[in-house]
Structures are given as C-alpha cells and as structure tokens.
Chains A and B, each alone.
Chain A
Amino acid sequence: MRKILGGTLCSAAALAALGSAALAQSPATGDAAGGEKLYQTKCGGCHSLDMNRVGPAHRGVVGRKAGSAPNYAYSPALKAADIAWDEKTLDLWLQNPMAMVKGTRMGFRLSDAQQRAEIIAYLTAMSAKAAGGS
C-alpha cells in the first residue's frame, strides 16, 4: 500500500514539475472565463464584485486608485498608497501585498502566475463593463 502511494505521489510531483516548466516558457496570459471561477475560489472568502465584505468591492478596481472604493474602511497604509491598479500593479500585489504596501491588512498571496493572470483578466473585464455601463 505504502509503495503504491509513494509511486503515485512521485509521479504527481513529476507532472506538476512538468506543468510549471511549461508555464515558465510561455508568459502568463489570462483568460477571463477561467478567471471567474478562480476569483470565486481564491478571493471569494473575502471579496465580491459589488459588496464591501472583509475586503473592498472589486468591480471597477482596474483603473482606480488604491484605497478608493466608496464606504470601505481601508487600513491607513493602503488608503495612503500612491498606486493605480492595472495589470502590472495587481500582479505585484497578488504576489505579496505586504511587501508592496507595508501595513496593509490583506496578507493573501497567490504564487501561481497563470492563476494571477486569469484573475486579473477577469477583474479587467468586469471593470471595463462597469465603465461601459455607467
């Protein structure tokens, strides 16, 4: 039993290594459709598009200044940060928010570059819709 399990674990690790090697070769490009599900599962504990919850509402975040969602009580650090959210700044933020803005209350990190790209593509699509709709 142990032997079989060991074998399975090894090959799974090998596959994951192959997978990340493949990803490393192509720059991460995001697909908003995949991003929606990822957004739900990774960010949905704290965020939603239209409601301020543990974290601020996200519709329209791409293109707006950090710390500017109406009626959300930001940390002083994020409120004061001079950042405009775009693909690049969001990618940095999601790798390690506390390294980007010392004193922020969001500590969540997403280490997978492909997943970051998909979530950012989704947020961009939702933000464009918000701008178009208003």
Chain B
Amino acid sequence: MTFHQSPADRALSRRKALAAGGVLSVAGISVLAGSASAGLFGGKNKKTKGDPEADAALINTAISLEHEGIAAYQIAAESGLLEPAVLEVGVLFQSHHKAHRDELARIVTTLGGTPVEADSQAAYAEQIEAGNLKNQADILQLAIRLELGAANAYLGVLPGLMDPDYHHLFARLAADEAMHWAALKGAVGEALPQNALSFG
C-alpha cells in the first residue's frame, strides 16, 4: 500500500473536499435556523428535539473539557520549555479549543442553560499535574493523552445526545481532536494505530 495518488484520485479528493465544504455550510444554515427560531419564539429555548436540559448538561461537561485543554496549552506555552515551532502549533491547537468552547457555550445558552465557567489557571495546573512537566517531551506526551481522551470523550458522549444536530457537532469536535492527536504523534515520531476503529 502506498500513498501515491493518480490524477484521477486527486480530482476525486478535490470533489470530496468540496463536498465536505458543502456539509459545513449546511451546518451553518441549521445553526442560523436554530437561532432564528429561538428569536421568533421569544423564549430562551431553541425548539429542540428530545431533552434540551439533558443535552445542555452534557454539552456543559464538554465545555469543562475544553476549558482544561485551553489551560493545558496555556501552561505549556508559558513554560518556556517549547521550541518555537512546537509553540506555534500549540497556539494553533489552543485556538481550536477556544473555538470549540465558544460554539458549545453558544449552544448551551440557546438551550436556556448557563455555560460552565473556567476554573483558575492554578487549579488546572494542579489537575493536570503540571509540576511533573520537565521538558518539551513531557508536554507533548501530556498533549497526546489529553487530545486522545478528548476525541474519545466526544465519541462516547455523542450517542447520549438527543438532538441529531449535536451528533454532527460532536463528530466534528472529535475529528478536530483526532487531527491534533495524529499531528502530535507524528511530531514525536510515534507509530499510528495498527488497527482501524481505534477511536471511540
């Protein structure tokens, strides 16, 4: 098995990429529709399928996870232990986690809930046992663990969400975390999983 692509394959992947773009804009539209209907009906609650309160509780738990991730990258960035290139990637990944947090918080509010607030940086430093981080390699291993845990967390929580729109969102969040994980594994030169379906 090789990774060579024939021109036909490349055209196919371009089409696939375009199709993926299409999916994103469909999500965009449904998000718009959701907030528009919330506005129309005047209430705080989006007209949801299922159990908005239960969904909001699970989405809030996901926000806690993102808060911890954002703090972990912050602690790593401020540690002075990272090479500039690694720092740059860390800042990029942190920005993804901030975007996740913002999107999840927006939904909790739409559902009539209150997005959970972040703890102090010191509390997160203790939670992730930042005192044990002595060098860049330690930090990368921590990031690998947290990203894998986050990808699996999203995949394992997804079936419990009542509104199918959130299934889609959680799958997209898991994909981001899996992308971070794979990039970090590559950066430290570790092998990728031998078996398929290793996530979830």
Distance of A20 Cα from B28 Cα, bound (Å): 39
Q: How many residues of A contact B (CB 8 A)?
A: 28
Q: Which residues of A contact B145 (CB under 8 A)?
A: 40, 44
Asked if A129 lies at the interface with its beta carbon under 8 angstroms from chain B, I say no
Stretch from A27-35, A58-66, A79-87, A99-107 that touches the partner = A99-107
Contact between chains at A42 and B57 (CB < 8 Å) = no
Q: Which of A52, A53, A107 contacts B157 (CB 8 A)?
A: A107
Interface stretch (choices B17-25, B78-86, B146-154): B146-154
- Is B186's beta carbon under 8 Å from chain A? no
Contact of A45 among B9, B57, B65, B197 (CB under 8 A): B65
CB <8 Å contact, B61 and A1: no
Q: How far is the CA of A46 from the CA of B151 in the complex (A)?
A: 11
B145, closest chain A residue (CB):
A44
A51 to B129, Cβ gap below 8 A? yes
B152 touches A45 (CB 8 A): yes
Residue contact A40 to B156, C-beta cutoff 8 Å: no
CA distance A104 to B61 in the complex (A): 10
Which of A41, A45, A46, A108 counts the most B-chain CB atoms under 10 A from its CB?
Answer: A45
The main secondary structure of chain A at its interface with chain B is loop
Contacts of B197 in A (CB 8 A): 16
Are B9 and A108 touching (Cβ within 8 A)? Answer: no
Docked complex Cα distance between A16 and B126 (Å): 41
Within 8 A of A (CB), among B128-176: 128-129, 145-146, 148-153, 156-157, 159-161
Cα(A130)–Cα(B151), bound, Å: 30
Give complex CA distance A54, B119 in Å.
11
Q: Given A42-B152, A46-B153, A105-B60, answer yes or no on A96-B65 (Cβ-Cβ < 8 Å).
A: no
Q: What separation, in Å, do the CA atoms of A105 and B145 have in the docked complex? A: 22
Of A16, A42, A107, the contact of B61 (CB 8 Å cutoff): A107
What per-residue 1/0 map shows which CB atoms of B41-82 lie under 8 Å from chain A? 000000000000010011011001100100000000000000
Top 3 A-B pairs ranked by shortest CB distance?
Answer: A45-B149, A45-B153, A107-B160
Interface residues of A (CB under 8 A from B): 1, 12, 16, 40-46, 48, 51-54, 75, 96-98, 102-110
In the complex, besides A48-B127, A51-B128, A54-B65, 9 extra interface pairs with C-beta distance below 8 angstroms are A12-B196, A41-B148, A44-B146, A44-B148, A45-B65, A51-B126, A104-B57, A105-B61, A109-B156
